[in-house]
Chain A
Amino acid sequence: MKSENYIKLEFPSRSVNEGFARAAAAAFAAQLDPTLEELGDIKTAVSEAVTNCAVHAYPDSLGRVMLRLRIMKGGRLEIVVKDWGRGIEDVKRAREPLFTTGGAERSGMGFTIMESFTDKLRVRSSPGRGTTVTMVRTIKQRQGEG
Chain B
Amino acid sequence: MEITTSYASGRLTLHLSGELDHHGAKGAMERINGLLEKYMPRDAVLDLAGLTFMDSSGIALIMKTRQWMHETGGRAQVENPASQPLRVLDASGIDRFITVKGERRT
Give chain A's interface residues, CB within 8 Å of chain B.
15-16, 18-19, 22, 36-37, 40-41, 43-44, 47-48, 51, 54-55, 97, 104-107, 109-110, 112-113, 116-117
Give chain B's interface residues, CB within 8 Å of chain A.
19, 21-23, 25-26, 29, 53, 55-57, 59-60, 63-64, 83-84, 87-88, 91-93
- Chain A residues within an 8 Å CB radius of B63: 107
Complex contact A105–B60 (CB within 8 A): yes
A109 to B3 alpha-carbon distance, docked (Å) = 24
Given contacts A40-B84, A47-B21, contact A107 B91 (CB under 8 A): no
Closest to A17 in B: B23
Complex contact A113–B53 (CB within 8 A): no
Contact residue among B25, B56, B84 (Cβ-Cβ distance under 8 Å from A48): B56
- Chain A residues within an 8 Å CB radius of B19: 19
A15 to B27 alpha-carbon distance, docked (Å) = 13
Contact residue among A51, A54, A105, A112 (Cβ-Cβ distance under 8 Å from B91): A112
Closest to B19 in A: A19
A42 to B13 alpha-carbon distance, docked (Å) = 30
Given contacts A37-B83, A41-B87, contact A109 B21 (CB under 8 A): no
